[in-house]
Amino acid sequence: MYGPADPVTRELWVNMDQMEKDKVKIHGILSNTHRQAARVNLSFDFPFYGHFLREMTVATGGFIYTGEVVHRMLTATQYIAPLMANFDPSVSRNSTVRYFDNGTSLVVQWDNVRLQDNYDLGSFTFQATLHIDGRIVFAYKEIPVSVTEINSANHPVKVGLSDAFVVVHKIQQIPNVRRRTIYEYHRVELQMSKVTNMSAVEMIPLATCLQYRSCFACVNAQIGFNCTWCDKLQRCSSGFDRHRQDWVDNSCPDESKDKTCDSKPGEVTQAALSTTTGVATSATKPRIPSTTSTTVITFGLPTSSLTTEDDTKIALHLRDNGASTADSTAEKEGDSVHTGLIVGILLVIIIAVAAVLVTFYMYHHPTSAASLFFLERRPSRWPAMKFRRGSGHPAYAEVEPVGQEKEGFIVSEQC
């Protein structure tokens, strides 16, 4: 986070007034309505949590929605939020939401926007810049009050990033009807008290499993994530990204238990170990002054090191080791009942202990493979964000660019 006295802050602010006017776009609906969102097509591939995006949705509420499926709860997850709040450009003639794409970066600026439910607090001017190498910059020019004082009763107040994966569930009772459920797998929350006039934050993406294109490079990656290779999909992943459903549907978690590769290490070329342009290299390393700190984000979460195999099974084999023929039938029946009772008690104890341990583990590791296994198969019993009509969350209308077909909204559990 760079403060007002840091010279880097002024360098990170993009002066859109000096840009060519024909390239700076001002979306009319974003400038005169409340809770609107418009799609913006990028001229470059922007890496976000290892996924390359060419289309985003800019909202009047001070954030950019990065999800593929547009729904009524854009504020929930999958966002890039320099300052998400209840901004309403229609309450002031000077308020605009404009953006600029120069081929290597996209700049979105919320200019002189005011809060709908507290107009007297003053106008806010801030911007978000998305670079082709994955860097994200939040720059703040005018913040009249502390962000911590903004009321979040009518609209969430957030500063940071979020991403999630969408899972489609089939409803057995109704044929050909599916329900989408979204699960947030990672979030970056910046300290709101440090968002002041002439401050800025620069976020640098780290390497992700998705960048590796070969099995050997994947399983030998040393980037702080549990990268595994799925031969069926020819993809490297930690299991927690937007391709989660494909990963599960193709039994990649079972395949990834065996981390061996068919190719030999000597056959791996340097090209196979190369990373995508979404990872910051030494050539594009941004400025990090010794007297300041920079927020660094990691795209994705490492999976738990706990194996999902059931290694607690106990096989009990009872053999007749040549018992004496003088034993009576009553004694044999008594021994059988006694042994069965002991076995039954042991099994009950083992099951109870295992259930407690599993419950304790899933409670403290909500993004583990075991937790997600139950989440995806029993969504009605577990906490998850489901998109329902009239859920009480702020609903955003979405505006399509000219010449593009409109995608469906998720306004209920059925799709």
**Structure confidence at residue 259 as a pLDDT band (50, 70, 90):** low
Amino acid at position 385, single letter: M
Output the six-digit token pair for 299: 């795209």
- DSSP-derived 3-state class of residue 53: strand
How many angstroms separate the CA atoms of 121 and 115, rounded? 8
**Structure confidence at residue 335 as a pLDDT band (50, 70, 90):** low
Strand 96-101's sheet: what is its strand order?
24-26, 96-101, 105-113, 124-131, 136-142, 199-205, 296-297
**Structure confidence at residue 337 as a pLDDT band (50, 70, 90):** low
Where is pLDDT greater, at 277 or 44? 44
Q: Where are the domains of the chain?
A: 7-207+386-399, 209-274, 329-381
pLDDT value, residue 176: 77
For 306, residues 6+ apart whose C-beta sits below 8 A from its C-beta are 361, 365, 368, 370
pLDDT at 157 over 80: yes
**Structure confidence at residue 78 as a pLDDT band (50, 70, 90):** very high
pLDDT value, residue 84: 97
- DSSP-derived 3-state class of residue 342: helix
pLDDT in tens, 293-319: 333 333 343 333 322 222 222 232 223
For 264, residues 6+ apart whose C-beta sits below 8 A from its C-beta are none
Q: Mean pLDDT across the stretch 372-400? A: 52
| Residue 92 contacts residue 114 (beta carbons within 8 Å) | yes
Where is pLDDT greater, at 377 or 34? 34
What is the pTM (predicted TM-score) of this model?
0.67
pLDDT value, residue 397: 65
Alpha-helix residue ranges (DSSP H) falling in 220-295:
244-249, 252-255, 270-273
Output the six-digit token pair for 91: 């309450």
pLDDT in tens, 166-222: 888 877 777 777 788 889 999 999 999 999 999 999 999 999 999 999 999 999 999
**Structure confidence at residue 331 as a pLDDT band (50, 70, 90):** very low
Amino acid at position 226, single letter: N
pLDDT value, residue 339: 82
274 C-beta neighbours (distance < 10 Å), count:
12
Distance of CA 131 to the CA centre of its chain: 19
- How many Cα atoms are found within 13 Å in the side-chain-facing hemisphere of 231? 11
End-to-end CA distance of the chain: 42
Where is pLDDT greater, at 121 or 400? 121
pLDDT value, residue 72: 79
Across 99-113, 180-194, 266-280, 373-387, least confident range: 266-280
Q: Mean pLDDT across the stretch 334-357? A: 84
Name the residue with tokens 């992700």: 208
pLDDT value, residue 399: 53
pLDDT at 96 over 80: yes
pLDDT value, residue 42: 96
| Cα torsion through 67, 69, 72, 75, rounded to 10 | -10
